[in-house]
Amino acid sequence: MRILAIDDEKLALEALISAIQKAAPGAEIAGFRKSKEALDYAKKMRCDVAFLDVEMRGMNGMELAEELLDRQPKINLIFVTGYSEYASEAFRLRASGYILKPVTPDKVRTELDNLRNPVVDGLKKLRIQTFGNFEVYFENQPLHFTYSKTKELLAYLVDRAGAMCTNGEIAAALWGEEDGEESGHESYLKNLRADLSARMQECGCEAAFIHRRGLLGLVPDMLYCDYFSFLAGAKEVRRNYRGEYMSQYSWAELTHAALDREMGIQADRNE
């Protein structure tokens, strides 16, 4: 589940995110203090739920809700406020829920258990982690692949962030061969491709996996992945970056270095 949390007060936002994390520990949470940044994120990433403070400077929560609905009509809106008089306006906007402050994990859990638009398909249950080691979870359990290289294939497609990849590019990453070289790995790559396709189908995520003749790719906004949210500008996700990215794969070092530069992290990789 991908959740937006928006409040222009720093401490209030931190409290909201903390309550959501305790109520839904497996969720991907993107927190924002500015409505425009939240809207920019929603343009790039599909979201299931938005917790919105009502009284905010500039664009208030009600105005933001209308903008979010224009972009994502099935998003569940849950308003968070210290006042009850906004309930009728929330109803007009087809809100899923309404929380009176202080926000608690129990209040959040109650609203998540009674969403207006239920989150039920497999896309919402698959979660990809790139910060630290690369890991894939389905329903909060590690996803099993027939071949260990299938997991690396998925990792490479994630690293490419939606770009279509040729068989030659993939062979260069997975086996260290030059792009386009006749490698003898064609049959093995077909097996990896079939394994990945089968796993994505089992998870109900086949729509997020693009496979054409000689090309493979992913649809970023259909998958829950910390790297994709980082690229989309989620500040809470960016704060979770600690200078480690797909640590088990040497080909990920270029992206790793780019992330470090963007976050201002200075590191000597030779130490």
Q: Given this model, what pLDDT does residue 182 score?
A: 46
In a domain, 52, yes or no: yes
Q: What is the DSSP letter of 59?
A: S
Query: Do 142 and 72 share a domain, yes or no?
Result: no
> In which residue are the tokens 């009674």 written?
114
Write down which residue in 85, 120, 155 finishes a domain.
120
Residue found under tokens 């698959």: 126
Instruction: Give CA angle at 193 (190, 195), nearest 5°.
Output: 110
Let me know if residue 156 belongs to a domain: yes
Rounded to whole angstroms, how far apart are CA atoms 240 and 75? 25
DSSP letters along 17-79, please? HHHHHHH-TT-EEEEESSHHHHHHHHHHS--SEEEEESS-SSS-HHHHHHHHHHH-TTPEEEE
Please report, as a single letter, which amino acid is at residue 40.
D
State residue 163's pLDDT score. Answer: 95
The encoded tokens of residue 244 equal 């480690």
pLDDT along the chain (271 residues), means of 10: 91 94 87 92 90 84 88 91 68 79 93 82 72 92 93 97 93 74 73 94 88 91 90 84 94 95 64 38
Q: Which positions ≥6 away from 263 have C-beta within 8 Å?
A: 238, 241, 243
Pair of tokens at residue 120: 């039920």
92, 43, 31, 46 alpha-carbon torsion, rounded to 10°: 80
Indicate whether 270 belongs to any domain: no
Q: Which domain holds residue 57?
A: 2-120
Could you tell me if 65 and 182 lie in one domain?
no
Looking at residue 39, its pLDDT comes to 92
Indicate the helix (H) or strand (E) that contains 106: helix 105-112
pLDDT at 50: 95
CATH code, domain with 188: 1.10.10.10
Whether residues 137 and 115 share a domain: the answer is no
Q: How many domains does the chain have?
A: 2
Question: Within this chain, do residues 202 and 113 fall inside the same structural domain, yes or no?
Answer: no
What is the pLDDT at residue 222?
Answer: 85
pLDDT for position 122:
44
Is there a single domain that holds both residue 131 and residue 206? yes
Is 92 in the same domain as 158? no
Residues 133 and 257 placed together within one structural domain of the fold:
yes
In a domain, 271, yes or no: no
The reply to whether 211 and 227 lie within a common domain is yes
